[in-house]
Amino acid sequence: MVEEIQGLKKGEKEFIKHFEEHPHFETLRKEGKKEEEAKKEISEFLRKLTEEIEELPEIKKEAEIHHEPLKDISSTLAQAIYTALEEGVLEGLAFIKKLKNPYLLDQFHDLLAGHFYDLLVKHGKLKVIK
């Protein structure tokens, strides 16, 4: 259980709870997968979560005010990942979605999937198949 793991950030606790309970991860929890397959499955979960968020009426209505060119993509991604880990995945997604940049969103998914994969392996939540 996620409560047993000490030192996790809010977003990490939130994700592990999803991993332990969400049907999307049932096969991954029971059987394990190779690293790339596991990361792909985590990334797919994050993509579906993004799509669900995009369909919320309040998100559709929200006026976008930050529409400026990005000078430092790595800094922006780092801020989005930090937000996701410190405040929660939904907050990180909201931050990156406001930028309206599909490349950044894709990179966000990939980076977060890698982080969460490593987190699950580290805490014994995911079996790794070599």
pLDDT the model gives residue 33: 85
Q: What is the pLDDT of residues 53-90, one digit of tens each?
A: 666 554 454 434 334 443 455 678 778 888 998 899 99
pLDDT the model gives residue 46: 81
By the 10 Å C-beta count (0-12 exposed, 13-18 middle, 19+ buried), 10 is classed as: middle
Domain residue limits at 93? 2-122
Taking the C-alpha atoms of residue 85 and residue 115, their distance in angstroms, rounded to an integer, is 10
Is 67 among the domain residues? yes
Is 128 among the domain residues? no
pTM: 0.62
Place of tokens 């940049």: 101
Is 16 among the domain residues? yes
Is 130 among the domain residues? no
Instruction: Work out how many domains the chain is built from and give that number.
Output: 1
Is 82 among the domain residues? yes
Mean pLDDT for the chain?
Answer: 79
Q: Which residue has the higher pLDDT, 130 or 1?
A: 130
What is the token pair recorded at 74? 């790595």
